[in-house]
Amino acid sequence: MMHAPTQKQSMLGQGRLSRGRVAQCTRKSIRRSCQVRAGKTSTGPRVAIVGVTGAVGMEFLQILKQRDFPYSSMKMLASARSAGKKVDFDGETYTVEELTENSFGDCDLALFSAGGSATKKFAPAASDAGCTVVDNSSAFRMTDGVPLVVPEINVEAMKDIKLGKGGIIANPNCSTIIALTAVTPIHKAVGVKRMVVSTYQAASGAGQAAMEELELQTREALDGKPITTNIFPRQYAFNLFSHNSDVDVDLGYNEEEMKLVKETAKIWNTKDVKVTGTCVRVPVMRAHAESINLELNAPLTVDEARKLLENAAGVSVIDNRKENDFPTPLVASYNDDVYVGRIRRDISRDDDCGIDLFVCGDQIRKGAALNAVQIAEALL
């Protein structure tokens, strides 16, 4: 049913951590969504990767290659710091160029993962030049007229945007994508009234440097050396902490939690769903986990919920109570699907309108680069 990576593949280590690891595409996800297979072809779009030197940027390249995404030319963009660096892709070596407002005249599609401020500055220029933007940052997610898309959920929201005609499509926040890929099949069946979400978020969500700091700190902690804290203000190794995004001093929610709240409403196109979240970073490298309690508009049995999830695009169910086998971040790492388990009737309710779930997803893939490439595929 699912093609889990071997322990050796998914284990951290083997001489190096996640940088440059060859990604694993599950058979199920290939069957479902790797429809467009071409690679370099004169009829493909002219593509720019913006932020190519980052964690998401590197993953873009792996996913484009793996899915044989069609392209006629490829442009590698990052900041002035990286200009001149070499990047290999699909058998050719490219030189990284500095991102400027003039980078996009000869591009039809730009995959952005360059942070909020660079995106705010350069994505409109790309769009004005007729280059269609798929953006990973939060810069335009809540902007009116910018579709916020998870292809399995609401691909219709981007129907007015055409490749090579400009326009910006936003990729949701990684925690939102992973939660909603699992929860939406249930929402579409019976309606979700309220969600209580607690996250277990990996270092990768904070970029390449955060993963490296977690590795360095872990070595330091094991060796009894002082802990290096450049990226986060506190020890991360063998610890966990409330998500590092800014906290709204009035509400007490951090930005990551508010993204879950607001993006869910936009993606589901409803004001009626209620969400509370607690976002936490745990010392895991790559994939996020989330504990989700659902309050439903109508009764749903566990068997019905499991069936909905088993038939859902982009979802794999691992839910073996007898063997205590449920999703883990390592099983999700380097895989495309969102893994769901611990599917239970909420025993704290007197009715059958409560379901508990535990989900894991590789947030650099489905939580970022893969989702953006799926959006790009839907544009073709």
Ligand X SMILES: NC(=O)c1ccc[n+]([C@@H]2O[C@H](COP(=O)([O-])OP(=O)(O)OC[C@H]3O[C@@H](n4cnc5c(N)ncnc54)[C@H](OP(=O)(O)O)[C@@H]3O)[C@@H](O)[C@H]2O)c1
Residues of this chain that bind ligand X (CB under 6 A): 51-57, 78-79, 81-82, 99, 113-116, 118, 136-137, 174, 204-205, 207-208, 363-364, 367-368
Length of the chain: 380
Q: Of these partners, ligand X, a second copy, none, which one is at the site of residue 329 (CB under 5 to 8 Å by kind)?
A: a second copy
Catalytic hit among 25, 243, 279, 288: 288
Whether 174 is a known active-site residue: answer: yes
Whether 3 is a known active-site residue: answer: no
In the complex, minimum distance from the CB of residue 100 to ligand X, in angstroms, rounded to a whole number:
9
Residue 158 found at the interface with a second copy (CB under 8 A): no
In the complex, minimum distance from the CB of residue 349 to a second copy, in angstroms, rounded to a whole number:
7
Query: Alpha-carbon distance 364 to 344, whole Å?
Result: 28
In the complex, minimum distance from the CB of residue 193 to a second copy, in angstroms, rounded to a whole number:
9
Which of 2, 142, 237, 313 is in the footprint of a second copy by CB under 8 A? 237
Sign of CA pseudo-dihedral 322, 324, 329, 330: negative
In the Cβ-directed half-sphere of 116, how many Cα atoms lie within 13 Å? 8
Which of 36, 280, 310, 352 is in the footprint of a second copy by CB under 8 A? 280
Whichever of 22 and 249 has its CB closer to a second copy, that residue is 249
Question: For 269, left (φ over 0), alpha (ψ -120 to 50), or beta?
Answer: left
Beta strand 315-317 pairing with 354-362: unpaired
- Which element (helix H / strand E) includes 56? helix 55-66
Q: Classify residue 373 as exposed, middle or buried by CB count within 10 Å of its CB (0-12, 13-18, 19+).
A: buried
Contact 267, 172 (CB under 8 A): yes
Whichever of 145 and 252 has its CB closer to a second copy, that residue is 252
Contact 178, 362 (CB under 8 A): no
Look-up of token digits 């059958």: 352
In the complex, minimum distance from the CB of residue 142 to ligand X, in angstroms, rounded to a whole number:
14
Using CB under 8 A, which of the segments 40-48, 162-170, 175-183, 235-243 binds a second copy?
A: 235-243
In the complex, minimum distance from the CB of residue 100 to a second copy, in angstroms, rounded to a whole number:
34
Residue 349 found at the interface with a second copy (CB under 8 A): yes
Q: Of these partners, a second copy, ligand X, none, which one is at the site of residue 56 (CB under 5 to 8 Å by kind)?
A: ligand X
Query: Alpha-carbon distance 264 to 25, whole Å?
Result: 27
Stretch 15-74 residues interacting with a second copy (CB under 8 A) = 15-16
3-state helix, strand, coil in the chain (%, to 5): 35, 25, 45
Stretch 295-314 residues interacting with a second copy (CB under 8 A) = 302
Q: Of these partners, a second copy, ligand X, none, which one is at the site of residue 165 (CB under 5 to 8 Å by kind)?
A: none
| Residue among 144, 77, 84, 88 nearest 112 (CA) | 77
Which of 2, 196, 265, 313 is in the footprint of a second copy by CB under 8 A? 196
Q: Of these partners, ligand X, a second copy, none, which one is at the site of residue 222 (CB under 5 to 8 Å by kind)?
A: a second copy
Q: Of these partners, ligand X, a second copy, none, which one is at the site of residue 225 (CB under 5 to 8 Å by kind)?
A: a second copy
In the complex, minimum distance from the CB of residue 118 to ligand X, in angstroms, rounded to a whole number:
4
Q: Of these partners, ligand X, a second copy, none, which one is at the site of residue 348 (CB under 5 to 8 Å by kind)?
A: a second copy
Whichever of 49 and 312 has its CB closer to ligand X, that residue is 49
Query: Alpha-carbon distance 61 to 65, whole Å?
Result: 6
Which of 329, 362, 367, 378 is in the footprint of a second copy by CB under 8 A? 329
Residues 6+ positions from 344 with CB-CB distance below 8 Å: 302, 355, 356
In the complex, minimum distance from the CB of residue 345 to ligand X, in angstroms, rounded to a whole number:
27
Whichever of 78 and 360 has its CB closer to ligand X, that residue is 78
Stretch 203-222 residues interacting with a second copy (CB under 8 A) = 215, 218-222
DSSP state at residue 320: B
- What the block records as the tokens of 337 is 């699907």
Buried b (16+ CB within 10 A) or exposed e, 63-91: bbebbebbbeebbbbbeeebeeeebebee
Whichever of 139 and 284 has its CB closer to a second copy, that residue is 284
Residues classed as catalytic:
174, 288
